[in-house]
A and B are shown apart, each in its own frame.
Chain A
Amino acid sequence: MPDGATGQGIGASVLRKEDKRFLNGEGRYVADIARPRMLDAAIVRSPVAHAKNLKVAKPAGAEKRVFTAEDMAADGVQPIHVVSKFPGHKPSDYPHLATDKLRFVGEAVAVCLADTRAGAEDLAAQTEVSFEALPPVVDMLEAADNPPARVHDDWDDNVILDSRFEENVDGLDAAAVSVTRTFRMNRQAVNPLEGAAVLAEWDAREDRLVVYSASQIPHILKNALCECLGLRQNQAHVIAPDVGGGFGYKCVLLPEEIYIPWIAMQVKRPVRWIQDRREHLVAAANAREHHYSVTLHADTDGNFIGVEADIVIDSGAYSVYPHSNILESTMAGRTLHGPYRFSAYKVRSRAVATNKPPIVPYRGVARPGICFAMELAVDAMARELGREPYDLRMQNLVPGEAMPYKTITGGEFDSGDYPEALRRAGALIDLPAMRDRQKQGEADGRLIGVGFGCYIEMTALQTSAAARAGLAAIPGYEQAHVRLTPDGGLEIGVGVQNHGQGMETTLAQVACERFGIDIDMVAVRHGDTATSPYSTGTYASRSMVMAGGAIARTCDVLGEHIRRMGAHLLQCDFDDTGIENACVVGPSGSVTFAEIARVWHRNPEELPVDVDPAGVEVTSGFRPTPDNSPFSYATHACVVAVDPELGQVEILDYVISEDCGTIVNPMIVDGQIIGGALQGVGTALFEESRYDEAGQPLSSTFADYTMPGSTHLPNLRLDHLVTPSPLTEYGVKGLGEGGAIPPPAAIANAVNDALRAYGVEVRETPITPRRVLEKICPVK
Chain B
Amino acid sequence: MKRRKGAAPTRPSRFVRTLVEIEGREETRVVEIPDFEPAPWKADAALTIVGRATPRFDAVEKSTGRARYTADVQLPGMLHAAIVRSHQPHGCITAVDVDAARAVPGVVDVLTGADLPAGMSVGGRKMFDRTVEYAGQPVAAVCAASAEAARRGAAAVRLTIEAAGFAVTFADATAPGAPRVRAGGNVAPHAPFIQERGNMARGLRQADVTISREYRTPVALHSALEPHGAVAEWTDDRLTVWESTQGIFRTREQLGAALRLPLNRVRVICEHMGGGFGAKNGMGTHTLVAALFARRSGRPVRCLNDREAEQTDAGNRNATVQRVTLAAKRDGRLTAILVEADVPLGVGGWESGPAKIYHELYRCPNVRTAETFGYINAAAMSAFRAPGHAEGAFGLERAMDTLAGALDMDPLALRMKNLAARDQEKGRPYSGGSRLAECYRDGAKRFGWTRARRANSATATTGARRGVGMAAQIWGTGGGPPAYALVRLNADGTADVLTGTQDLGTGSRTILAQVAAEALGARLADVQVILGDTERTPYTGNSWGSMTTPSVSPAVRMAAEDARRQLLEAAAGMMGVSPDRLEARGGTIRVKGKGRGRNARAMSFAAVAEQLGDVMIIGRGSRGPNAPHAAVVTVGAQFAEVEVDPGTGVVRVLRIVAVHDAGRVINPLLAGSQLQGGILQGLGYALFEERVMDRRLGVPLNPTLHDYKVPTMADAPSIDARCLDGSDSTANHVGARGLAEPPIIPTAPAIANAVANALGVEVDEIPLTPWRVLAALARRVGTDS
Are these two chains actual partners, yes or no?
A: no
Question: Which positions in A face B, CB cutoff 8 Å?
Answer: none
Binding site for A on B (CB under 8 A): none
